[in-house]
Structure 1
Amino acid sequence: MSTNEGNDLPDNAGSDSEAEPQVVTFADLGISGEVLTAISDVGYESPSPIQAATIPPLLAGNDVVGLAQTGTGKTAAFALPILMRLDVTAREPRALVLAPTRELAIQVAEAFGRYATHIPDLHVLPIYGGQAYGVQLHGLRRGAHVVVGTPGRVIDHLEKGSLNLSKLEYLVLDEADEMLKMGFQEDVERILADTPDTKQVALFSATMPSVIRKISKQYLHNPVEITVKSKTTTATNISQRWVLVSHQRKLDALTRVLEVEQFEAMIIFVRTKQATEELAEKLRSRGFSAAAINGDIVQAQRERTIGQLKSGALDILVATDVAARGLDVERISHVVNYDIPHDTESYVHRIGRTGRAGRAGQALLFVAPRERHLLKAIERATRHPLDEMQLPSVEDVNAQRVSKFADSITESLASPHVSLFRKLIEDYEQEHDIPLADIAAALAVQSRDADNFLMDPEPPAAERRERRERKFDDRDQGDRGFRDRDRGDRGDRGDRGFRDRDRDHDRDSGPRHSKGGVEFATYRISVGKRHRVVPGAIVGAIANEGGLRRSDFGHISIRPDHSLVELPADLSNETLEALRRTRISGQLIQLQRDSGAPVQRPSGKPKKKFRDRDR
């Protein structure tokens, strides 16, 4: 069977009365129970084309070959059916996902974790080169229902006897063509041959070279072949830009853009329903005319809000993907992707809300350091490179505020009430012998928030830190770097490098409460030596879930049953909540501020048994 979906027309092509396609829900596809609750919590409201085409045959037990570009939502397409049918009472791995790079392996494992939030006692374990074997061995001994790994490290565990695939029921080859390009064909075929013949196999690839066709014929049983052509054409009248910004600085970055960028009306896209309400409220508190629409808003309120946007009574709409379907407002000049979409289809739909009726439009994409791969996927799929944008500086924002203040004076001078207040001020001037300029300044203080009227200059240290982080991001996100490191992960070399880095944490000495102009606080997490954690595992987990960089970490002290970690003192509530739900070695870390003494650094070298345990 072959399924083709989508077309090559831009989202805003055609007449204004173009009918929107009927929305299919995950429930319509057969997703139910705890899995449906989890994806609702994540904020997914409707499946992407690859998900809609792939989930039903996978749930029916068929092998599947899915041909789709990176960034079309393939992870949920295979993860949701697996979770629906997984036996959590088993200890041996029941599902194995092979990914070409450590980055993708981590990303897929995190996605499984999000979708399995409401499935008790389900364990997902990523295994990849560069991470200490001790962490992975502990996870395998404890029992992992879903293993996500790179081929080289999976082979290592098979040879060591630490990974048992005899009871495997589901095998996924994610980005199979990329794995073969990187030289993993022999490893992939060996893994396939070592797994039960009764397993269900899903193979996903952007292309179908002859070697992929050969593997499909040899190892898959009557697979359903699904081809999804993404709607990847973007209108030429839309200018597309991106800006690198960490999760913690998104609101500040958005505020700067709103103050400096000239826009008529704007849609800001976020990932979840809750985020629409939260961001709209924060923007209103900063003086912007903003409202939220999402799937929970009743139709009457939706129509009223869109009517305000059309009439000019409202300037900013914060929306989810589904809530913005069918939205056609000519005065929308800008679309901001506050949360980067995980599939290119959504990106094209989103930016298609601007540039209507042949007008010019602007699309801006916020990209966190760990989301650079999604930006590249969008550029590849749309065949349109995005221009990098520098955020407006403090000087730009202050100049714009002063200009708007002057414009407000000019506008008020045309009011018919000026003569009334002129007489009052002249009387005050004569009575108190106060210069008119001082009186005008006092009136301005009454009407403006003087304390926050101008932004404070950024400290030089913060600017240097931002430049250092940008260099680190550029170096760490290079495609070749990821491939080369993963190709070299079949032996112990990458593992030794990781242990060396961990020892550097322990050798650090002396108190550190500030770094690069950032104030640090000590946080306590509920994992320690008895959980066999190492500093590198703590850094990786907290950085992934909290959107932090390595420069955001101070000293890490691992105690018998807990650990102390120095992190920025001003972590947002959103980040803290995400980190409280983070798991390391399968344990919730329950991050909280530590009320005890500052982190004490050990002296001398680590104990020998601590080093040996991670070999």
Structure 2
Amino acid sequence: MKTFAEFEINTDIMKGLDGLGFSVMTPVQEKIIPIVLNRQTDLVGLAQTGTGKTAAFGIPLIQLTDTRLKRTQALVLCPTRELCVQVAGDLNLMGRYVQKLKIVPVYGGASIVSQTEELRKGAQVVVATPGRLHDLIRRGAVDLSGVSWVVLDEADEMLQMGFQDELNAILAVTPDSKNTLLFSATMPREVAAIAANYMKDPLEIIVGRRNAGAENVDHIYYVVSARHRYQALRRIADMNPELYAIIFCRTRLETREIVDKLIEDGYSADALHGDLSQSQRDHVMHKFRSRNIRMLVATDVAARGLDVNDLTHVINYSLPEESSGYTHRSGRTGRAGKKGISIALIETREKHKIRAIERCLKKNFEEGRIPSGHEICKRRLLSHMEAVKKTEIDAEHIDPFLPAISKTLESLDREELIKRFVSMEFNRFLASYRNAPDLNTFEKTPPKKKTREAAAGKPYRLASRKKFTPLFINAGKKDGISPKRLMRDLSDAAGMPDVRIGRIEVNNTTSLLEADSRFAPKILQALKSLTINGRYVAVEIDRKTAIRNRPENRRYDSSTAKDRRKGQSRPA
């Protein structure tokens, strides 16, 4: 690998790099820095987040900036406030010994008045989010007519966040003579369109493989039923005592539900979602970066632009809609040459999504086995014992108390002392995994002999060893019901979380749930007072009765029907 000293980098910049501990270049820096320094050309850089892209474009931009001029000469666009602040901070650190260099970040959530004032004083480099910069352009508060370099950092994320129109508007007011540097982890069609429309014969620099994930990441998936997904998450966390992870969910409601459960179960966790104010978001991220919390539960939108070092795991509690979304998620671990693990919790029917992601990443996933309670307890106990062995002893302060301690414990032999010590530390933990069930889901295999239906060419069902009774509920999708929500509400109301559940169907106005026939009468009795979203619902074995009990399907007398036709419906 080459060093920064091998290139013609200004001594003031080298001084800043030395202060940051930068000496050896990363592959992306080695490829891009000499091109930007020595050639007037557009460039597309395909590389994962965390590979050193900021220094790759930042060092040459600082060196090429004429600090004698106050006008804006370089523009860096970032998808999120966090990344904008981070990039501006990194550029300031690299150029802190360069006289009269001024770098100004502009982003939403901060005072636009103070940002306008900073721009008015002069800024050679502007680092901005598309939304705020577009607003400043419309107000006439920023002049981009003298820009020589435009950097689109994490362009694929900017487009996924819906900034296509803002990017078009911003690039339209920059000079045709500028050079554009586009950096992206993936190359979807929209990013390729930006390159085609706004760049002139760009060089393409690929670090790793196109659309590939980080090289140092192992990919593992666990097949688990929906009702056991949270318990599987807990077991993964307990099996990895040094876990420092982002847990990705699909919705903000899901993030809140999981965080509430994790905190209730004693884990250090917090949520990051779109309902948080900027100050709340900053507070959560400060706790996570300082490791006061070890698990950050987030949606894709909320986590975009985050750059957190040394993550051990990325956990996909729910798979993203697109394979490229998984690439972004998994790329947040395994950085700077360190190993990382990306985990996906899936149901059997989602295996095809794993295969699609494998094709996109050109990597094979390992199918993992959810650890048993015994395995977790053994792992945690031994891990704690290793920590005890490595604990430094402050003999000077402890020795005076040893005689009293020894006298207190003299009635205990060595084995009993160890057992008591372990019990004091782990009784609650051991109790939580006593008689813990196997959470792994295995695919059913078809019977060896064909049934008469199969022999006749008809599809067959596997015979179930357990009989299920269908329960029809007069609430569905339009009432905010989902299979997961339905299972949770039913198990909570019935007070029987371990009842076996069969098929679940949620339609617009009704739902079906098959429950273990042995408990069906007890479930029906318990669910007489079930409420969902604040209203009572009916649970019936007969589907017609459930449909009839929906409020809009109740019978009305003739006068009510007359009122309905007038738009003044009145329930009987």
Which of the pair has the greater relative contact order for Cα pairs under 8 Å at 6+ separation? Answer: 1
Question: So what's the TM-score if we normalise by structure 2?
Answer: 0.46
| Higher gyration radius (CA) | 2
